[in-house]
Structure 1
Amino acid sequence: MRARSTAAAIGILGAAVLALAPATASASGLPSYQQWQADVQKALTGVNEYLDGARAEHTAIVLDIDNTALETHYHKGRANKPVLDAAQHAQQLGMEVLIVSARAVGGEDSSMRQLSDAGYRPDRICLREHGEAKEDGKLRCRKEFTGDGLKITANIGNRSTDFHGGYFDRKFQLPDYGGELS
């Protein structure tokens, strides 16, 4: 009897400890929303100060959409607040906010509506052409924007494809947890 009550007490104690512990992983194996936001904040450390120092004529920042500007995995359609804050700061400085995404051409209106509904006011959007690899489409978009006379001072994204090939001064890479948060 004593062994059974000891085991029950240990089981209750273990359940209580688990209930009090912060969530660190979701069912998909990705970290909790709170951990992701902490990781996003860390990745964006100093972004506003950097933008203050990079302020010049014809400057812009680039944002990816999914799991960068929007919390697509955790809260579909909701702004990722730290990224929204950086975008709004850039616009207050007179910089353009450009959207470069692997979403396919033809989805510009829908994507701009989602961003607008979440609080963003992007100046322009460029999406991947049909048949174009993600990294090639994003590179083409940045190249086109710089060809139009803009200097991309900051590029904010969460995948390596967001940064392939350059045409920006500094990257701010949000976590993608080994490609699991695409």
Structure 2
Amino acid sequence: MHTTPCSVTDVRGPRYDNPTLLAGPRIGHHRLRGRPGGPGRPGRGRRPTAATASPAVAAAAAAVDYDTWQRDCRAVMDQALPYLKERIGDSGPGEKQAIVLDVDNTALETDFGFSFPQPANEPVLDVAEYAQDHGVAVFFVTARPGIIHAPTEWNLEHAGYEPAGLYVRGFFDLFRNVAEYKTAQRAAIEAKGYTIVANIGNSATDLSGGHAERTFKLPDYGGQLS
């Protein structure tokens, strides 16, 4: 099943990202920039196994073939990257550009990582690295609860991202519609003077509500991935 970038207008019900793979305190800033299998960031064949996925997460991932998922993600990011290159080249004087990423099964391989730290979703990391290298701020907006802010931020940095900001849900946000919560966080980023040139996620709740020039939807296969 292949997906294409799209602007999403429909809003599904609240989606609760799975935090079960995250545990332990912040370990500091260790940004490992190597590609998979080489020095630096752990490759797919050498993932740490300190924590394992819950049976529910493992079952969801088993229903989706990893190679198919990666191929479908790459197809979407192969459209996002040329757009980003062009948009960066067209930036106006003093414009502060930003992109926004979802975390679970967007920035990280949540339902395939089966470990902590979770590996980066490589097609998305490639786009984020290009943005980072060209002065574009990379923000993360997730439905994960605030109690796991520190390990989530450390995981993102360990995977190769350079977060300009990580937005997680506070206590009262847990009772809000996820799409409304995420839209409000993008509005807050814009209020800081940023132009959000791209918003990337794998669910309608990641992308609906505006406050981004373009949206790019990764596959979730009818909700099989969180």
Shorter-chain TM range is 0.7 to 0.9
Residue pair 1:69, 1:83 contacting (<8 A) in 2 also: yes
Aligned residues: 157
Matched, 1:135 2:135: no
The equivalent residue for 2:161 is 120
In the aligned structure 2, how far is the partner of 1:122 from the partner of 1:27? 30
Deviations 1:42-96 (A, max 9, x none): 1212222111111122000001000000000011400000101100001112100
Unaligned 5+ runs, structure 1: 1-25
Larger RCO (CA within 8 A; separation ≥ 6): 2
Distance in 2 between the 1:175 and 1:81 partners?
Answer: 14
1:15 corresponds in structure 2 to none
**2:111 equivalent to 1:70:** no
Name the aligned partner's letter for residue 89 of structure 1: Y
Aligned position for 2:75: 42
Aligned counterpart, 1:166? 210
Aligned-partner Cα distance in 1 for 2:87–2:63: 34
Q: Which has the larger radius of gyration?
A: 1
Which consecutive aligned stretches of 4+ in structure 1 deviate over 4 angstroms post-superposition?
26-29
Cα distance in 1 for partners of 2:211, 2:220 equals 22
Aligned partner of residue 147 in structure 2, secondary structure: coil
One-letter identity of the residue aligned with 1:73: D
1: CA distance, partners of 2:185 / 2:168:
7
Query: Structure 2, unaligned stretches of length 5 or more?
Result: 1-57
Q: Does structure 2 conserve the Cα–Cα contact (< 8 Å) formed by 1:129 and 1:137?
A: no
Whichever residue aligns with residue 113 of structure 1, its letter is W
- Residue of structure 1 in register with 2:136 after alignment: 95
Percent same amino acid among aligned pairs?
Answer: 40
Aligned CA distance change for structure 1 residues 52 and 30 (closer, same or farther; 3 Å): same
What TM-score comes out, normalization by structure 2 length? 0.66
Q: Which moved more, 1:69-78 or 1:104-113?
A: 104-113
Q: 1:52 touches 1:93 (CA, 8 Å); kept in 2?
A: no
2:191 corresponds in structure 1 to 147
User: Residue 46 of structure 1 aligns to a residue in which SS?
Assistant: helix
| Alignment partner, residue 178 of structure 1 | 222
Residue deviations 1:97-130, cap 9 Å, x none? Answer: 0000011223321210111111111111111232
Q: Which residue of 2 aligns with 1:23?
A: none
Give the deviation of 1:159 after TM superposition.
Answer: 0.6
Alignment of 1:22-33 (within 5 A): 28=60, 30-33=63-66
TM-score, normalized by length of structure 1? Answer: 0.81
Q: What is residue 111 of structure 1 aligned with on the other side? A: 152
CA RMSD of aligned residues (A): 1.5
1:127–1:137 contact (8 Å) kept in structure 2 = no
SS at match of 1:108: helix
